[in-house]
């Protein structure tokens, strides 16, 4: 890992972006502009805070989250790669892949002409990644911090053989009280509960959450809205390059079993994720690339 002084010398943007060290030598980018403040961890290529001016943070970060190598950061927007959920054939391998427990290289920072901040991180195949997954690849994460937050995962096959992967941008969206919120845009969509193979159809115009939910909606594109009356706001979630939308909240019982989450943590977030998995994994020929992107914004 590069020395933080060298990183600041190369990548800081005076008045807008600096690098600091968090717990256990994890390095974070602190970002500010006219639109928002944000924080991105190089470990996991994970944005852990995005706060529009005069607003409460859109993202939820567990106060009990681990900031130590080998463990995922609970909250923000973890990147799941190169598999989503448990490994399909070896459950001893890390849940949701190795992307969120890897140190990513800082490749570029810049201030755009619109006063947005763009950050690019990358992870390339190495002996460490090949101990989990045998392919040569380049994964690039791009964050655009402005009035909206756009996150893009681009994966390029640098192998001589085709490969298949699954992924997710696993956002934790902050709410005041989950039972009072509603998710719009999923009416008439087909979904599976967790790992069930049975397909259901959501009849309701509004999805409300008062217990554990883990739904994978198929053939979904476009945008969805999270209405949070107690914060007096609606978060709009756009996505591209993804046909699966996962909605997850652990509910009371599972929240109590998660050591890196408060017992009542489930009350304060919901995940509405851009996913490529199940019947919609990504297959890349040598040299091919695919982008999965999500954009978060507050409705005016």
**69 noted as active-site residue:** no
Radius of gyration, alpha carbons of the chain: 18
Cβ–Cβ < 8 Å for 174, 269: yes
User: Which of 158, 186, 154 is CA-nearest to residue 167?
Assistant: 154
Q: d(Cα 70, Cα 82) in Å, to the nearest integer? A: 16
**21 noted as active-site residue:** no
Q: What is the DSSP string of 40-92?
A: EETBTTEEEEEEETTS--SB-B-TT---STTS---BSBPEEBS-SSS-SS-TT
**Ranges of H-type helices in 127-166:** 127-130
Q: Structure tokens of 217? A: 């909606």
Catalytic residue among 96, 170, 231, 297: 170
For residue 170, CA distances in Å to 13, 24, 186, 189 come to 28, 23, 18, 20
Number of H helices, E strands in the chain: 3, 23
Catalytic residue among 273, 288, 291, 299: 273
Structure letter (DSSP) for residue 281 = -
User: Which of 283, 295, 248, 253 is CA-nearest to residue 85?
Assistant: 248
Q: Structure tokens of 78? A: 């973890």
Alpha carbons within 13 angstroms on the beta-carbon side of residue 250 total 19
How far separated are the first and last CA of the chain, in Å rounded? 41
Q: Which helix (H) or strand (E) holds 13?
A: none
Q: d(Cα 134, Cα 125) in Å, to the nearest integer? A: 9
Catalytic residues: 170, 273
């Amino acid at each position: 890992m590069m020395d933080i002084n060298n990183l600041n010398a190369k990548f800081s943007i005076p008045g807008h972006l600096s690098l600091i060290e968090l717990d256990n030598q994890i390095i974070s980018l602190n970002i500010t502009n006219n639109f928002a403040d944000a924080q991105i961890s190089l470990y996991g290529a994970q944005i852990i805070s995005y706060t529009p001016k005069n607003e409460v943070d859109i993202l939820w970060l567990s106060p009990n989250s681990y900031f130590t190598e080998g463990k995922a950061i609970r909250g923000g927007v973890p990147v799941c790669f190169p598999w989503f959920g448990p490994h399909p054939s070896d459950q001893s391998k890390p849940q949701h892949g190795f992307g969120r427990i890897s140190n990513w290289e800082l490749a570029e920072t810049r201030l755009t002409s619109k006063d947005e901040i763009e950050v690019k991180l990358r992870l390339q195949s190495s002996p460490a990644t090949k101990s989990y997954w045998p392919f040569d690849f380049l994964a690039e994460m791009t964050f655009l911090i402005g009035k909206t937050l756009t996150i893009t995962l681009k994966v390029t096959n640098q192998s001589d053989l085709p490969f298949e992967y699954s992924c997710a941008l696993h956002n934790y969206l902050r709410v005041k009280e989950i039972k009072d919120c509603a998710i719009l845009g999923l009416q008439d969509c087909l979904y599976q509960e967790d790992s069930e193979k049975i397909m259901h159809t959501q009849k309701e115009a509004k999805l409300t959450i008062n217990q554990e939910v883990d739904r994978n909606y198929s053939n979904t594109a476009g945008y969805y809205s999270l209405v949070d009356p107690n914060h007096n706001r609606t978060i709009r979630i756009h996505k591209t390059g993804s046909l699966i939308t996962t909605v997850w909240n652990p509910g009371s019982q599972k929240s109590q079993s998660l050591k890196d989450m408060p017992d009542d943590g489930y009350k304060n977030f919901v995940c509405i994720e851009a996913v490529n998995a199940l019947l919609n994994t990504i297959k890349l020929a040598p040299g091919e690339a695919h982008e999965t992107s999500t954009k978060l914004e507050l409705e005016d």
